[in-house]
Chain A
């Protein structure tokens, strides 16, 4: 089975108004360790084709578009499976949209580490070594998982679009244990990177060893209103509410509250303002890509500038539906830095500094958030006390009332922006 063969079958289907084929070829090497011992070694090789069929017809006097997506792999009866998808497409009635034309040019982004591509087994072994050598004497490496992946994507559509992208991906997950016997505590670190140089698990292990040690003496946070500084893992999902609300789908489905030219928070603000960009072109970004899933060249989009909503991020479907310029889906989030240093954000306490949650995912409709604290510190009277358990809660609207961004920036998997973000007057629940 290959993409040309499938395209040939699709061209022979009479009723189709359009089609797309995404070929996904993936080879992944995996290692799982419990303490120093290998638990399991795995190799996974996959090639599959995601095929979307579109039909146009008239229903109740209105032109509509039907569509269905099917995944094909080796051993499938291609005509029979395509017939199934076609039958499904014919019962769906959506507003029509057109697929992207072949792009005149695509942005070029570095997404492949040639060493990972060329010798994934060696890189996997090297990461394993990095984890072992970075382990500190009083800390045990309870378990680790290492994935080394090389993937090729190729997209064709019925308008002649034919684009491809190649990427490598490294993933390391480790759990560190501090203490012995009755008193033990853990910290779990996870990191995705495209390039081996960006993984830097050794430095990360050092930080997480500190968190594991601190967890041994961590207390519940006090209950009350606090100024809270978010950093490290706490930044990864902090802006997801804005990314989803800014998307074309939220607008089309009627639940986005954002309007171009209006502030994203209804009340007056003190402190600094939010400037948020969707950036698909960050080298090594986990959401970096030259084209989106429909083959539309991705663009850098300033979504929010100084708290004012500027522009939606939309794929071709929602751009056509909403009559907007298509930009591609939301990519890596880039947040503009502020004026204060990270150290300044942590001063004038008491401050609750939060680095890791068990989970932190703001509600994409309401903006409400709450997260159980895994790693944090209460900074009071010049003393830093580790805290764990309890929660911080609020809403994204209220968070913007008084927010400050550090001038130092960091790059994480799909985030580039301030190293720390301070939100004043959040509710912390603990002891």
Chain B
């Protein structure tokens, strides 16, 4: 990756002789994915997704040419073709100007306490298999168990006329999944984590395994709840998916530009309970979506999206920030060099409050604690939201009864849900297993989280 620095700098300079702005991004992914399940194993190097994308701004719009070939002649040809194409489209030197940022050369490297390469492959496969065997040993209702470990190293080099930035990101993910069956009924549940670093993050704590088995067992015999509006407690994981869907997608400013997000009209207005703070930060320590710079060369910073219930900032990519005259945030991200950059989330979470879980439950006469989210979807234009999960535990007279319902779906109007928050827990937890799509494609790694939240929600 470092070897590409000089040639990319030279080509960006060459391209800017013709176009008002040029940049290059080189990406390469390496690592391994190992999994064991009840009757099958796998061990594969990750798809390297190695390639380079050249970007130019013609004064009117962006144009990109991407290639898998890192050879010098292929790079020169790709850059030259892009410039010729831009000339054909027409160049306007009086159009909006792209700020290349301050002059900066910086290298950011995530270190591993235990380098996965130091652990013999056989040992890693055996460790995955040991989890599978352990899960089967703990509960005879399990018909299929899976343990998946992956280590992803992503090297990214961004070059424009002022910046030459290199980041070497490493993350480790471990997931345990089980399918239980009894009496003709089946249930599936998973647990795990994804964190920056190395093999030190391989193990899943025994408490998590115990909780996985217990909760899956409860889901196996659970019925569906009676639809209605209830007092609810969202677990930190459920709060995370709520943050992501509610005002994560709703504040991606490319959606402002397309007039697809109502949030644009509600900037600096109350959209949530005054107890609510919400953030997006690629600078969050050790989290899976943490980085130094985004895929358009913007250095990381923490963005406060909601402060005391007031919507105060969006998440920008280069195009929407330029067109809308917004401050850039480091949210211009792409799935790979083959894909376009959009405004995307990173680590998105509700900030902490002051309440303890037991106090949040204490005066609920009848409600549910929601946990184990599975997916969600938001409509930034209409502010409708859908959150799905596997687990709703009944609360009666201030106590969790142990009676569980599954699956559970939350639907509603985003501001109604956010404004109904009456208590916010004091401990934020981040969940790193998520991936996020834009619409139904463009998958990037994100995390989300928050503390326990108490609110009113429509459940089905």
Contact = CB atoms under 8 A, between A and B. Distances in A.
Q: How large is the interface on B (under 10, 10 to 19, 20 to 34, 35 or more residues)?
A: 35 or more
A117 to B, nearest CB: 20
Contact of A370 (B45, B66, B340, B460): B460
Interface string A43-85: 1111110000000000000000001111101111000010011
A142 interface: yes
Given A68-B43, A223-B227, A41 B89 contact: yes
B227 A429 contact: yes
Given A365-B179, A427-B227, A95 B39 contact: yes
Contacts of B381: 177, 184-186
Interface string B26-69: 00000010000111111111011011000000001111111111
Contacts of A368: 406-407
5 nearest A-B residue pairs (beta carbon): A372-B386, A429-B460, A358-B377, A429-B227, A254-B143
A34 B144 contact: no
B224 interface: yes
A88 B68 contact: no
Contact of A88 (B64, B69, B121, B258): B121
A427 B340 CA distance: 40
A184 B259 contact: yes
Contacts, number: 207
Q: Which of A34, A44, A254, A365 has the most CB of B within 10 A?
A: A44
24 contacts: A30-B340, A41-B85, A43-B66, A43-B81, A46-B51, A67-B42, A68-B43, A73-B69, A74-B68, A74-B71, A75-B70, A81-B45, A88-B43, A215-B382, A253-B39, A254-B144, A266-B184, A358-B378, A358-B379, A374-B379, A390-B411, A391-B409, A429-B409, A429-B458
Interface in B304-349: 319, 338, 340
B340 A366 contact: no
B66 A45 contact: yes
A32 interface: yes
Interface string B367-398: 00000000101110110111010000000000
A141 to B, nearest CB: 10
B382 A177 contact: no
A329 to B, nearest CB: 16
A5 interface: no
B43 A188 contact: no
A370 B187 contact: no
A390 B460 CA distance: 9
Nearest to A73: B68
A34 B257 contact: yes
Interface of B: 32, 37-45, 47-48, 50-51, 60-71, 74, 81, 85, 89, 121-122, 124-125, 143-144, 179, 181, 184-188, 224, 227-228, 257-260, 319, 338, 340, 375, 377-379, 381-382, 384-386, 388, 406-407, 409, 411-413, 439-440, 458-460
A370 B409 contact: yes
B187 A389 contact: no
Contacts of A393: 224, 227, 407, 409, 460
A122 interface: no
Interface string A162-177: 0000000000010101
A93 interface: yes
A251 B81 CA distance: 51
A145 B124 CA distance: 43
